[in-house]
Amino acid sequence: MLKKSERVRTFTRHDLRAAIYHCCPTLSRAEARKIFNETFDELSDALVRGEPVKLRNFGTFNLRAKRQRTGRNPKTGVEAVISARRVVTFRPSPALLTQINRESVDCLPD
């Protein structure tokens, strides 16, 4: 088990906003926040409308409908109805996969 100091840090909305702010020195923090919020509002709205969101060299977010089904609590074995719902799926682009795999190979010990 990893110790607290060895755990991987989660990249958050705050980190993304800070990255926007730092890469564009002419932006104020408020402007960077507005750009970030507007971008994610547009992405969210497109998914709510059922439209796929494709980000070049990153991947595609799609909406998938799941039917109602009967599930089972693994601990107690009690059956329960799982309602129909929509879920978001993500498929990474080949460019992102290549980058991830190249960097993960560089991190492996010899």
Backbone angles phi, psi at 30, to 5 degrees: -65, -40
SS3 100: helix
DSSP 7: S
Convert the pLDDT of each residue in 3-54 to its tens digit: 555 678 899 999 988 888 889 889 888 998 999 999 999 999 999 999 999 9
Report the chain's C-alpha Rg in angstroms.
20
Which residue's structure tokens are 């059922």? Answer: 50
* Sign of CA pseudo-dihedral 106, 9, 43, 38: negative
> pTM for the whole thing?
0.71
